[in-house]
Amino acid sequence: MTTIAVLGNGRVGGNLATALTRAGHEVTVADRTPGAAADAARTARIVINATPGAGSLDRLGALREELHDKILVDVSNATVDGPDGLPAHLIYPGSSLAEQLQEALPATRVVKTLNTMLFPVMTAPTMLDQVPDAFLSGDDPQAKQTVRDLLVDLGWRKEWITDLGGIQTARATEAAILFVPHVIRSGGFAPFAVSIAR
């Protein structure tokens, strides 16, 4: 059992919080109420960022103390939306939100994962015709192992989880968001994941 704070109570945050609670973890969910994120982060061992990517660096940068020595699991994507409300541009081209977070929070171990799929797949990887990859990016091997164990709790088998390497590799998975508007326009909001065929 691990104490986990989920920041954001939307589609992603709510879904992850429900599944992690079912898996036996002690989960606190923080909405945007002032102080809620700080309170939740302070008492947790693992903090999951499930808030919009655009403001994540400011929001999490303000929690430097609360996130000291913690694992920060970042599942967000930082994009500017186009007129149709779908992601159009990356906010950190040539870098990634995960790298920016790691730089802003040197005493926190950032792990990027699950940002390459629609939210229902995160907690039900077998719902698609092919089982997708869950990618991991992060500089700390132990933190990545802890996140790997959490993914297993969410229904991911070890062989479906691909460790891409250091935090810089999040550039690749964050850029995969650029597939999303085109996939949604062609196929609607049916669950999908960006994955590597082998």
The contact set with ligand NAP (CB under 6 A) reads 8-13, 31-32, 50-53, 55, 59, 75-77, 115, 118-119
Taking CB atoms, the residue at the shortest distance from ligand NAP is 10
Q: How far is the CB of 161 from ligand NAP (least distance, A)?
A: 16
Q: How far is the CB of 52 from ligand NAP (least distance, A)?
A: 5
Q: How far is the CB of 176 from ligand NAP (least distance, A)?
A: 10
Q: How far is the CB of 23 from ligand NAP (least distance, A)?
A: 19
Q: Which of 11, 198, 29 is nearest to 123 (CA)?
A: 11
Nearer to ligand NAP, 133 or 141 (CB): 133
Tally of CA atoms within 13 A in the half-sphere of 125 that contains its CB: 20
Tally of CA atoms within 13 A in the half-sphere of 122 that contains its CB: 22
Nearer to ligand NAP, 77 or 169 (CB): 77
Nearer to ligand NAP, 54 or 131 (CB): 54
CB 72 within 8 A of CB 108: yes
**Reduced to 3 states, what is the DSSP secondary structure of residue 91?**
coil
DSSP 126: G
In whole angstroms, give the CA distance from residue 76 to residue 50: 6
Nearer to ligand NAP, 12 or 19 (CB): 12
CB 101 within 8 A of CB 142: no
**Reduced to 3 states, what is the DSSP secondary structure of residue 32?**
coil
Q: How far is the CB of 51 from ligand NAP (least distance, A)?
A: 4
Nearer to ligand NAP, 96 or 115 (CB): 115
